[in-house]
Structure 1
Amino acid sequence: MTVAGDGAPEESAGRTTRAWLIRRNPDFRRFWAGQSVSALGDQITRFALPTVALVSLHVSPWTFGLLSVTGFISYPVIGLFAGAWVDRLSRRRVLIGANAVRLVAVGTVPLAAASDALSVPLLFGVSLVSGAATCFFDAAYQAYLPSVVPADDLAAGNALLEVSTSTAQVAGPSLAGLLIGAIGAAYTLVVDAASYLVSIVSLTRIRGREEPPAKRRRSLLPEVREGLVLVWRHPLLRRLTTATALANVGRGLALEMFLLFAYRGLGLPPVTVGLMTTAGSVAALAGAMFCRALARRLGIGHTLLVAGFCKGVPWLLTPLALIGPAIPVMMAITFASGFFISVWNVNTVTLRQYMTDTDVLGRVSATVRTVTWSVIPLTGLLGGGLATVGTALWGSRVGLAAVLALGGAVWAGATLALPLREIGRVRESEDAVTTYGRIATPRPPRV
Structure 2
Amino acid sequence: MPTWGLLRKPDFRAFWTADLLSQFGTRVAFLGVPLLATTTLNATATQVALLRALESSAYLVLGLQAGAWCDRLQARPVLILADLGRAVLIASVPVCAVFGVLTLWQLFAVVLLTGLLTVFFDVAHQTYLPRLVDRGELLEGNAKLQTNMSVAAIAAPTASGFLVQLLGAPAALGATALGYLSSAGWLSRIRAREARPVVEKRKLRREIGEGLRAVFRHPVLRALALSGASISAFQSVHIASSVVFLIREIGLDAGAVGLLGTLGLTGALAGAVSARRLASALGHARALWLMTLLLGLAYLFYPLTGPGWGLVCWSVAGFGTAFGVIVVNVLQLTYQQLTCPDDLLGRVNATMRFLSLGMVPVGSAGAAVLAPLIGLRATLWTAAVGVLASATWLFFSPLRTRRN
TM-score tier after normalising by the smaller chain length: over 0.9
TM-score (normalised: structure 1): 0.88
In structure 1, how many angstroms separate the alpha carbons of the residues matched to 2:63 and 2:284? 28
1:218 and 2:194 aligned: no
In structure 2, how many angstroms separate the alpha carbons of the residues matched to 1:374 and 1:36? 24
Residue by residue over 1:98-129, the C-alpha shift from the partner in whole angstroms, topping out at 9 and shown as x without a partner, is 11110111011001101111111111001100
Task: Write the letter of the residue equivalent to 1:406.
Answer: T
Task: Write the letter of the residue equivalent to 1:104.
Answer: V
Counterpart in the other structure of 1:99:
83
Task: Write the letter of the residue equivalent to 1:233.
Answer: R
The within-5 A match list for 1:62-211 is 62-211=46-195
Counterpart in the other structure of 1:406:
382
Counterpart in the other structure of 2:267:
283
In structure 1, how many angstroms separate the alpha carbons of the residues matched to 2:241 and 2:289? 25
- 1:43 deviation in Å? 0.7
The within-5 A match list for 1:253-272 is 253-272=237-256
- 1:420 deviation in Å? 3.4
In structure 2, how many angstroms separate the alpha carbons of the residues matched to 1:225 and 1:327? 47
In structure 2, how many angstroms separate the alpha carbons of the residues matched to 1:260 and 1:415? 27
- 1:404 deviation in Å? 1.1
Counterpart in the other structure of 1:230:
214
Between Structure 1 and Structure 2, whose CA radius of gyration is higher?
Answer: 1
2:399 to 423, 427, 433: 423
In structure 2, how many angstroms separate the alpha carbons of the residues matched to 1:203 and 1:421? 39
Paired residues of 1:280 and 1:339 also in contact (CA < 8 A): no
2:5 to 20, 26, 35: 20
The within-5 A match list for 1:48-67 is 48-67=32-51
- 1:314 deviation in Å? 2.4
| Shift in CA distance, 113/304, structure 1 to aligned 2, threshold 3 Å | same
Paired residues of 2:64 and 2:351 also in contact (CA < 8 A): yes
Residue by residue over 1:16-54, the C-alpha shift from the partner in whole angstroms, topping out at 9 and shown as x without a partner, is 2x522111x211000001111111111111110110111
Counterpart in the other structure of 2:322:
338
Residue by residue over 1:218-240, the C-alpha shift from the partner in whole angstroms, topping out at 9 and shown as x without a partner, is 12121111111111111110111
List gaps (5 residues or longer) in structure 1: 1-12, 391-398, 429-447
- 1:425 deviation in Å? 4.7
- 1:255 deviation in Å? 2.7
Task: Write the letter of the residue equivalent to 1:211.
Answer: A
- 1:154 deviation in Å? 0.2
Paired residues of 2:269 and 2:323 also in contact (CA < 8 A): yes
In structure 2, how many angstroms separate the alpha carbons of the residues matched to 1:283 and 1:59? 31
4+ runs deviating over 3 angstroms: 424-428
Task: Write the letter of the residue equivalent to 1:288.
Answer: A
Counterpart in the other structure of 1:301:
285
1:43 to 13, 27, 36: 27
Counterpart in the other structure of 1:273:
257
Paired residues of 2:272 and 2:326 also in contact (CA < 8 A): yes
Paired residues of 1:277 and 1:334 also in contact (CA < 8 A): yes
- 1:262 deviation in Å? 0.9
| Shift in CA distance, 226/291, structure 1 to aligned 2, threshold 3 Å | same
How many residues are treated as equivalent by the alignment?
A: 404
Residue by residue over 1:231-255, the C-alpha shift from the partner in whole angstroms, topping out at 9 and shown as x without a partner, is 1111110111001101112211223
Paired residues of 1:155 and 1:346 also in contact (CA < 8 A): yes
In structure 2, how many angstroms separate the alpha carbons of the residues matched to 1:318 and 1:368? 27
In structure 2, how many angstroms separate the alpha carbons of the residues matched to 1:256 and 1:304? 26
In structure 2, how many angstroms separate the alpha carbons of the residues matched to 1:61 and 1:297? 44
Residue by residue over 1:166-193, the C-alpha shift from the partner in whole angstroms, topping out at 9 and shown as x without a partner, is 0011100011111111110112211111
Paired residues of 2:68 and 2:208 also in contact (CA < 8 A): yes
TM-score (normalised: structure 2): 0.97
SS in 1 for 2:43: coil
List gaps (5 residues or longer) in structure 2: none
Residue by residue over 1:181-217, the C-alpha shift from the partner in whole angstroms, topping out at 9 and shown as x without a partner, is 1110112211111111111111111111112111331
In structure 2, how many angstroms separate the alpha carbons of the residues matched to 1:129 and 1:204? 23
Paired residues of 2:219 and 2:397 also in contact (CA < 8 A): no
SS in 2 for 1:188: helix
1:365 and 2:349 aligned: yes
In structure 1, how many angstroms separate the alpha carbons of the residues matched to 2:82 and 2:120? 7
Residue by residue over 1:33-85, the C-alpha shift from the partner in whole angstroms, topping out at 9 and shown as x without a partner, is 11111111111111101101111111111111111110011101111111111
Residue by residue over 1:312-346, the C-alpha shift from the partner in whole angstroms, topping out at 9 and shown as x without a partner, is 22232334323762322211211121111111111
SS in 2 for 1:72: helix
| Shift in CA distance, 89/289, structure 1 to aligned 2, threshold 3 Å | same
- 1:96 deviation in Å? 0.7
In structure 1, how many angstroms separate the alpha carbons of the residues matched to 2:57 and 2:303? 31
Residue by residue over 1:142-185, the C-alpha shift from the partner in whole angstroms, topping out at 9 and shown as x without a partner, is 00000111000000000000001100111000111111111101
Task: Write the letter of the residue equivalent to 2:4.
Answer: A
Cα RMSD between the aligned structures? 1.4
- 1:280 deviation in Å? 2.6
- 1:305 deviation in Å? 1.7
In structure 1, how many angstroms separate the alpha carbons of the residues matched to 2:300 and 2:199? 51
